[in-house]
Amino acid sequence: MELWPWLTAALLVLFVQLSPTVNFYAKVALYCALCFSASTLAVAVCLLRHGGRTVENMSIISWFVRSFKYAYGLRFEMKGRQKLEVNHPCVIISNHQSILDMMGLMEALPKRCVQIAKRELLFLGPVGLIMYLGGVFFINRQRSSTAMTVMAKVGERMVQENLKVWIYPEGTRNDNGDLLPFKKGAFYLAIQAQVPIIPVVYSSFSSFYDTRMRRFTSGTVQVEVLDAIPTRGLTVADVPKLMDTCHQAMRTTFLHMSKIPQENGATAGPGTLPAQ
């Protein structure tokens, strides 16, 4: 019996276990493979179940993505989930840290909720196709006029179809231990549609996922849904204040949940507003 294949496999497993860097890249590669394979299966299920593009497909997509956490030993502990289960349109905003955010999003995803994503994702094979089938709105961020047109249509549709829209207001992934300044799109959308904003905050992933340290282990993510912030009666002139209110509330919660020290050495806690 040929022993070399088995010996090679055993050495490879041992090497992965001993090398954090190899372990990191192996887990990232597995995550990408899971995304593509699950998307392919989900496409078939969505087409068989609903026949095409509809927000109802998001429950199917959510089921597939939520299963990923078992492969990585991740847990999501959520506080305030009931605040998302409202029967009216709203804009949901959350912090954006890494490629793992999709798992966190699907853990919290309420009914009739779609996302706004960059247009480039539409061309990622089965991943782009399943996002399209789930009703995701794609925006070309390189063309502001086109993006504004899409956002205007999103505002109309979310009211007409009773949709919740999930947006990452930082605009890009950020794992620096703080929140980036917010972009205005989500707040213009909420005011245009006169719907409330519901902030959702995820604690820092850095204890188990860190691209700079090549760390990818098991861990627990704290998730907190904050109180809805109304926009009824607000106008475009109120966007800066609304944006600042949301940013401060989310940043305070993020630093407290993640136990990240402030500049003065104290840890942010309830009622403590970190310096901007």
Indicate the pLDDT class of residue 264, thresholds 50, 70 and 90.
Answer: very low
Tell me if 68 is assigned to some domain. yes
Q: Which residue has the higher pLDDT, 18 or 58?
A: 58
pTM score, whole prediction: 0.86
In order, the DSSP letters of the chain are: ---HHHHHHHHHHHHHHH-HHHHHHHHHHHHHHHHHHHHHHHHHHHHHHHSS--GGGHHHHHHHHHTHHHHHTEEEEEE-GGGG--SS-EEEEE---STTHHHHHHHH--TTEEEEEEGGGGGSTHHHHHHHHTTPEEE-TT-HHHHHHHHHHHHHHHHHTT-EEEE-TT-S---SSSPPPPPSHHHHHHHHHT--EEEEEE---TTTEETTTTEE--EEEEEEEPPPB--TT--GGGHHHHHHHHHHHHHHHHHHHHT-B-TTSPBP-TT-----
- Is residue 190 a part of any domain in this protein? yes
Residue 271 included in any domain: no
57 part of a folded domain:
yes
Residue 2: per-residue pLDDT: 54
Segments forming the whole domain that contains residue 157: 4-258
Average pLDDT over the chain, rounded to whole?
A: 88
Q: Domain containing 160 — which CATH number?
A: 3.40.1130
Please report the pLDDT score of residue 203 as a whole number: 96
Mean per-residue pLDDT, 59-73: 94
Residue 49 lies in a domain: yes
Total number of domains constituting the chain: 1
Share of the chain above pLDDT 90, in %: 73
pLDDT at 269 over 50: no
Q: Is the pLDDT of residue 270 over 80?
A: no
96-149 residue pLDDT tens: 999 999 999 999 999 999 999 988 999 999 999 999 999 999 988 777 666 778
Pairing verdict, β 219-225 and 164-167: unpaired
**pLDDT of 161 higher than 90:** yes
b/e 29-59 (16+ beta carbons within 10 angstroms → b)? eebeebbeebbeebbebbeeeeeeeebebbb
Residues 13-54 have pLDDT tens digits of 555 565 788 889 888 998 999 999 999 999 999 999 999 999
Instruction: Tell me if 274 is assigned to some domain.
Output: no
Residue 199 lies in a domain: yes
Report the pLDDT averaged over residues 162-186: 93
Task: Please report the pLDDT score of residue 31 as a whole number.
Answer: 93
In a domain, 146, yes or no: yes
